Amino acid sequence: MTATKGLEGIVAATSSVSSIIDDTLTYVGYNIDDLAENATFEEVIYLLWHKKLPNKAQLEELTQQLADNAEVPAEVLNHFKSYPIDKVHPMGALRTAISLLALYDEEADVMSDEANYRKAIRIQAKIPTVVTAFSRVRKGLDPVAPRSDLSFAANFLYMLSGEEPSAIAEEAFNKALVLHADHELNASTFTARVCVATLSDIYSGITSAIGALKGPLHGGANEQVMKMLTEIGSVENVEPYINAKLANKEKIMGFGHRVYRKGDPRAPHLKVMSQKLTELTGQPEYYEMSVKIHELVTGQKNLPPNVDFYSASVYHSLDIEHDLFTPIFAVSRTSGWIAHILEQYANNRLIRPRAEYNGPGMQKYVPVDER
């Protein structure tokens, strides 16, 4: 038995949710470029869960179900006040809150297709409320109740700031949600599938996935990109900063990918948005720094930017706190996690690979006082 480090190149599941073939990303056969330009996030949720785009009535039904389930039990929101909220990373709070939500869902452990779909709706509907409420409670503000007349994207920004977003902000945020929704067998999705393949419940699957997304080699990279941009501070500082990091063999966050070689097809969309939004908000230096970093890292290391790179300056321009970038990724990716969880249940087998043992050979037990 020979291990493949990081399971590189191993095909571990069949899936019809999304595919990456020759650096082209599709959701259920729809090119991400097409969806990014045209689809609402609500349509993408339906697409991923039902494997087809909704007609008008189906879309209205899903939108209504999401609106009807967006409220979060007061116990979950009050829970934020029971720990030192200003010292807690929102991804930790989110991981705990999703786990806690399960305790207020009477169907948490019911394993029928119908109950699983109802729970899917509840989780997808509530996760924006949880993330935005956390952000407000830690600032001493009351959570803003969700509104049923706003789109998923607009409602998130509204619950965060208490103000209706501009059409440009709504469009940009919707596009970011569409672009982050699914990505084949990435680490967090694989985590979710491993969890539910034991026939554990959806809440456990999503909680586990949030834990995996949190890491800086995965979804946590977008916050690290923003940290880097903040540290660099000006276009003139980019070159010495990046050269020093590369000379030191440090990784540049937001670059590289296990699957893409020529480039992540989501990055160009985010690059365009970054340029537009940073100009609009009078902070073009964030785009200019990003472009300079891009030129240097791709030029010197042949590493293209991934989805996390330009999303940082996009979210920053939308006036979103930097440590909420990864929770926002989770809000979007929940749609993909759920699609994969439902797919796993529909054709389940326990996921249990083997390990190549490299420890000591056979040993004889020695009593403690003889060691």
Ligand X SMILES: O=C([O-])CC(=O)C(=O)O
Separation between Cα atoms, residue 340 and residue 195, nearest integer Å = 11
Point out the residue whose Cβ comes nearest to ligand ACO: 256
Shortest distance, position 307 Cβ to ligand X, whole Å: 5
Known active-site residue 257: yes
256 belongs to the binding site for ligand ACO (CB under 6 A): yes
Select the residue interacting with ligand ACO from 218, 227, 276, 322 (CB under 6 A). Answer: 218
What's the length of the chain? 371
Phi, psi of 21 (to 5 degrees): -130, 125
Separation between Cα atoms, residue 37 and residue 25, nearest integer Å = 14
Nearer to ligand ACO among residue 154 and residue 312 (C-beta): 312
On whether the CB atoms of residues 193 and 340 are closer than 8 A, the answer is yes
Phi, psi of 27 (to 5 degrees): -105, 120
Which range binds ligand ACO by CB under 6 A, 30-38, 99-107, 150-158, 253-261?
253-261
What residue 94 binds from ligand ACO, ligand X, none (CB within 5 to 8 A, per partner kind)?
none
* CB contact set of 293 (below 8 Å; sequence gap of 6+): 228, 232, 238, 242, 252, 309
Binding to ligand ACO, residues 290-319 (CB under 6 A): 301, 303, 306-308
What residue 54 binds from ligand X, ligand ACO, none (CB within 5 to 8 A, per partner kind)?
none
Number of residues that bind ligand X (CB under 6 A): 6
258 belongs to the binding site for ligand X (CB under 6 A): yes
Q: Single out the catalytic residue among 180, 183, 257, 316.
A: 257
Number of residues that bind ligand ACO (CB under 6 A): 18
Apex 35 CA angle, 60 and 293, nearest 5: 135
Binding to ligand ACO, residues 161-190 (CB under 6 A): none
Separation between Cα atoms, residue 8 and residue 65, nearest integer Å = 39
Shortest distance, position 361 Cβ to ligand X, whole Å: 36
Select the residue interacting with ligand X from 18, 274, 306, 332 (CB under 6 A). Answer: 306
Select the residue interacting with ligand X from 307, 320, 324, 338 (CB under 6 A). Answer: 307
Nearer to ligand ACO among residue 144 and residue 246 (C-beta): 246
Residue of 211, 205, 191 lying closest to 108 (CA atoms): 205
Shortest distance, position 283 Cβ to ligand X, whole Å: 26
DSSP letter for each residue of 30-45: EEHHHHHHH--HHHHH
Q: In what order do the strands lie in the sheet with 18-21?
A: 18-21, 24-27, 30-31
Known active-site residue 308: yes
254 belongs to the binding site for ligand ACO (CB under 6 A): yes
Separation between Cα atoms, residue 110 and residue 100, nearest integer Å = 16
Give the x/- contact pattern for ligand ACO in 1-20, rule: CB under 6 A. -----x--------------
On whether the CB atoms of residues 292 and 239 are closer than 8 A, the answer is yes
Apex 228 CA angle, 222 and 231, nearest 5: 145
Select the residue interacting with ligand ACO from 110, 111, 217, 244 (CB under 6 A). Answer: 217
Contacts 24+ apart (CB under 8 A), 258-263: 258/6, 258/8, 259/20, 259/184, 260/20, 260/23, 260/304, 260/306, 261/23, 262/23, 262/304, 263/23, 263/304, 263/305
Nearer to ligand X among residue 258 and residue 261 (C-beta): 258
Binding to ligand X, residues 154-193 (CB under 6 A): 183, 186
The 3-state DSSP class for residue 242 equals helix
204 belongs to the binding site for ligand X (CB under 6 A): no
Residues of this chain that bind ligand ACO (CB under 6 A): 6, 217-219, 221, 251-258, 301, 303, 306-308
Active site positions, annotated: 257, 308
Positions touching ligand X (CB under 6 A) are 183, 186, 258-259, 306-307
